[in-house]
Amino acid sequence: MRDVIIIGSGPAGFTAAIYAARANLKPLLIASSVEVGGELMQTTEVENFPGFPEGIMGPDLMDRMQKQAEKFGTEVVYDDVTALDITGEAKRVTTGEGQTFEARSLIYATGSAYRKLGCDRETELSGRGISWCATCDGAFFRNRHVAVVGGGDSAMEEATFLSRFASKVTVIHRRDALRASAAMVERAENDPKIDFRWNSTVVGFEGDQKVTGMILRDTVTGADSQMPIDGVFEAIGSDPRTHLVHGLLDLTEAGTIAVDGRSSRTSVPGVFAAGDVIDPIYKQAATAAGSGVVAALDAQAYLAELDDAATAQIGEADQPDEIERTGEVGNSQDAGDVETANATATQLDPADAAAAHV
């Protein structure tokens, strides 16, 4: 059985892999059958990841993380996880291609998925003018008028990127103040192709084969209005990808996987979680990477406890024979040793030891 399986190939997953591999745990990282690297693969320039003063493109950053993880012995599997069995000491992971992997510990770092508006005709027109990725689809909207929905860093990033192609980019935000960081806001506000439609939500889309317009509702007056548009990019945040662990792991009210304090320990011993899937607030590449470090160190400590417990149990099994042989059951020194061995075994029982942390 393996020591550790890591699920997820974003900054949390690959950083956990780098640490686990350097600790000689020979991690297996299950990436994805579609795209390795997580959300950074759909990002343009990353200017705030330490160590890159000139900035680095998101896909390049992820490529470097993967190379670093593989250099130390991480094995990467390009498949999707479809089922988990984490109740026993052996954690079993089944993939879409029907392979099952087993490990003594599991690091869950599946990140988050783009949020959808949930408004009228959104599903029907997805991929037909409605997109969640400007770097993927922006070039299709050369000299067109596009909208970006949202007021956070993602929305500013998408709008700034789209202004390279589009004739005009309208940011639609439900309030009159942006949530995005000052640097991103400044860049968007200084871009002559970007304008802002404040206090507006999207209530529906229009168009037959592709989007031609949308219905906006003024959040102050409640009045609806129509806006002709060639394309819409939704950038309204993301939700943790937890569907595989519903009913298996405790979740927080925010929907993230619950962990014990600043650790990565989940409600199941031997299962650790890291990155956006435990983070309802910060969601940065650098915080996800740090979270991956924590998970790898926690998994390492857990495995060491399992090994110690196994050693203690062997010691405990040997002890009565020795006492019988010497016939010195009443000897206070030996009796004390047996008690210590028992106490240590109890203390280090893997399930108890890990459960005590949660």
* Residues near ligand NAP, by CB under 6 A: 46, 48, 117, 149-155, 157, 174-175, 179, 201, 235-238, 282-284
Q: Name every residue whose Cβ is closer than 8 Å to that of residue 121 and which is 6 or more positions away in sequence.
A: 204, 205, 206, 207
- Catalytic residue selected from 85, 136, 224, 250: 136
| Minimal distance, residue 262 CB to ligand NAP, in Å | 19
| Minimal distance, residue 184 CB to ligand NAP, in Å | 7
Our CB check for ligand NAP shows the closer of 48 and 311 to be: 48
Our CB check for ligand NAP shows the closer of 46 and 353 to be: 46
| Minimal distance, residue 151 CB to ligand NAP, in Å | 3
Query: What is the rounded distance in angstroms from the CA atom of residue 39 to the CA atom of residue 305?
Result: 34
- Catalytic residue selected from 119, 133, 308, 337: 133
**Known catalytic membership, residue 119:** no
| Minimal distance, residue 295 CB to ligand NAP, in Å | 20
Our CB check for ligand NAP shows the closer of 140 and 282 to be: 282
| Minimal distance, residue 284 CB to ligand NAP, in Å | 6
Question: Kind of pairing, strands 45-46 and 56-57?
Answer: antiparallel
Q: Closest by alpha carbon to 203, among 184, 226, 220? A: 226
Our CB check for ligand NAP shows the closer of 238 and 347 to be: 238
Count CA within 13 A, CB hemisphere, residue 97.
9
Q: Which residues are catalytic?
A: 133, 136-137
